[in-house]
Structure 1
């Protein structure tokens, strides 16, 4: 049986990293304000659990991005398909990721995509030509590695 999944990424700034990856992937930042409003009104979450972002309540320590074509749970704003969930953790990133994202843009679009991602806050770590593949290894604003192919 196939399983549903989401990729969870530990980070220092979930809202900032969600904004970066939404732009990088063409995804949408999830809007959980309806759920937060409902839970706050019921006294189920304290005010320090959320912040206001762009005029809406957002979780202080969680933010997610989802593919724009995938379904959404209207009661919570949670994506029901392809998504990344960023969660705040107290410790900083220390070593190379054991899991990373590959963005496939093709050889003709790689230079422009690297330039676009750099403008969003990514950094170039290496240009790689190995095992018949050429790609650019980059890091997001918190240092998480990813490749542009």
Structure 2
């Protein structure tokens, strides 16, 4: 039987995709994807309207979506892993995440301090088998751990 891998990206529902893309790009050392060339093409052929576009950091971006990627993954990274898509949804976050990221860092205290400066909040601490971690939330309240 032949084994194949399945390509994927992580998708995060949110209220402000650009806020979360900026936070998570800084948190992970990822690059924010520049979709301005694609947006220009889509606008020029009428595939999207100007109401679907917003200016972010001096360039055109999709109003309802933003993405970040591992800088080690060659562009275009769609479907090739190392990518996180943030997509605007109308409903707010109402409960604990069913899936979260664990960030493994060499200096937990320094990483937590940096993430707080970026807009994250500390929500708790955990320990198991002598290994401790800090539970945090991103600017929209999505939980993650720093170990």
Give the shorter-chain TM-score range.
over 0.9
Is residue 2:119 matched to residue 1:121?
yes
Q: Secondary structure at the match of 1:20?
A: helix
Partner Cα distance (1:47, 1:112) in 2: 42
> Structure 2 length normalisation: TM-score?
0.94
Deviation string, structure 1 residues 33-54 (Cα, Å, up to 9, x no partner): 1100000011110001111111
Partner Cα distance (1:79, 1:72) in 2: 11
Gaps spanning 5+ residues in structure 1: where? Answer: none
User: 1:79: Cα distance to partner?
Assistant: 7.6
Is residue 2:43 matched to residue 1:40?
yes
Gaps spanning 5+ residues in structure 2: where? Answer: none
Look up the match of 2:108: 110
Deviation string, structure 1 residues 92-137 (Cα, Å, up to 9, x no partner): 000000100000014xx00010000000000000111124420000
Look up the match of 2:5: 2
Look up the match of 1:130: 128
Structure 2 vs 1, CA of residues 143 and 136 (structure 1 numbering), >3 Å: closer, same or farther?
same
> Structure 1 length normalisation: TM-score?
0.92
CA RMSD of aligned residues (A): 1.3
Q: Secondary structure at the match of 1:40?
A: helix
Deviation string, structure 1 residues 14-48 (Cα, Å, up to 9, x no partner): 01100000000000000011100000011110001
Structure 2 vs 1, CA of residues 78 and 53 (structure 1 numbering), >3 Å: closer, same or farther?
farther
The alignment covers a number of residue pairs equal to 144
Partner Cα distance (1:96, 1:131) in 2: 24
Structure 2 vs 1, CA of residues 79 and 115 (structure 1 numbering), >3 Å: closer, same or farther?
farther
Structure 2 vs 1, CA of residues 116 and 22 (structure 1 numbering), >3 Å: closer, same or farther?
same
Look up the match of 2:100: 100
The 8 Å contact of residues 30 and 79 in structure 1, kept in 2 or not, is answered as no
